[in-house]
Each structure stands twice: as structure tokens, then as C-alpha cells.
């Protein structure tokens, strides 16, 4: 039996990707070792929201709203460790979206 494809919300993904900062965050998270090498916790956890805030140069609440939009679209996953929240790309959803765009139009 072939592996099950990720269920994706195409419209939510398009809306999430319509914002340049959200696209930039996804690019940063593609290479966390390059963009967030100073993180104290292992990058396997994802990247701490505070470091994403700092790199974006915007308020915590603004960046948090962008991260929430990406997460609702399924493009990011989050993990809470103590008081910190770590984000990483959801590669399965990203690949399913790219496959859809490649063959769906």
C-alpha cells in the first residue's frame, strides 16, 4: 500500500505564503544551523520563537501572529520545552503542496 499523502489546505497555504516575512521565516527554518547557530538548545527541537522574533526585527506579537498563520496552514510545527516554544518546518506538508502545484494546475 502506498504511503498516505498529507492532507493540506491549499487556500490556507496560499494565504500564508502571500506575506513576504512568512516566506522568509520558512527560508530561515530550512537552514536553521545557518541562521540560528547561536541557539542554546539543540536545533532538532526547532528554532526558539524568541530568536525568530529577533531575526525578524519586529515585535514579539507581530512575529507570533505570523508563526500562528504558518502553523494553521500546516507549514510549521511547534514544540513546547519548558517556557520556550520551538518551531520547525513541516516538510511533509510543504512537499505535498509543491507536488500539488507541480501537477495540480
What does the pLDDT read at residue 93?
A: 96
pTM of the model: 0.88
Q: Give the pLDDT confidence score for residue 64 in this predicted structure.
A: 96
**Residue 37: HSE in the Cβ half-sphere, 13 Å Cα cutoff:** 3
Q: Topology of domain 10-104, per CATH?
A: Arc Repressor Mutant, subunit A (1.10.10)
pLDDT at residue number 2:
42
Whole-angstrom distance, CA of residue 61 vs CA of residue 58:
8
Question: Is residue 37 classed as helix, strand or coil in its secondary structure?
Answer: coil
Bridge partners of 88, per DSSP, are: 77
* Residue 74 and residue 90 in contact, taking contact as beta carbons nearer than 8 Å: yes
DSSP conformation class of 35:
H
Domain boundaries of the chain, sorted by first residue: 10-104
Predicted local confidence at residue 41, as pLDDT: 87
Instruction: Give the pLDDT confidence score for residue 75 in this predicted structure.
Output: 98
pLDDT (tens digit, 0 to 9) for every residue of the chain, 105 residues total? 444 455 789 999 999 999 999 999 999 999 999 999 999 888 988 999 999 999 999 999 999 999 999 999 999 999 998 899 999 999 999 999 999 999 866
Amino acid at each position: 500500500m502506498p504511503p498516505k499523502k498529507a492532507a493540506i489546505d491549499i487556500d490556507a497555504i496560499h494565504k500564508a505564503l502571500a506575506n513576504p516575512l512568512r516566506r522568509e521565516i520558512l527560508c530561515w527554518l530550512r537552514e536553521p544551523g545557518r541562521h540560528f547557530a547561536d541557539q542554546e538548545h539543540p536545533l532538532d527541537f526547532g528554532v526558539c520563537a524568541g530568536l525568530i522574533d529577533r531575526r525578524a526585527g519586529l515585535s514579539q506579537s507581530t512575529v507570533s501572529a505570523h508563526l500562528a498563520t504558518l502553523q494553521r496552514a500546516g507549514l510549521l510545527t511547534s514544540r513546547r520545552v519548558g517556557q520556550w516554544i520551538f518551531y520547525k518546518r513541516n516538510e511533509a506538508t510543504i512537499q505535498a503542496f509543491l507536488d500539488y502545484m507541480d501537477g495540480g494546475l
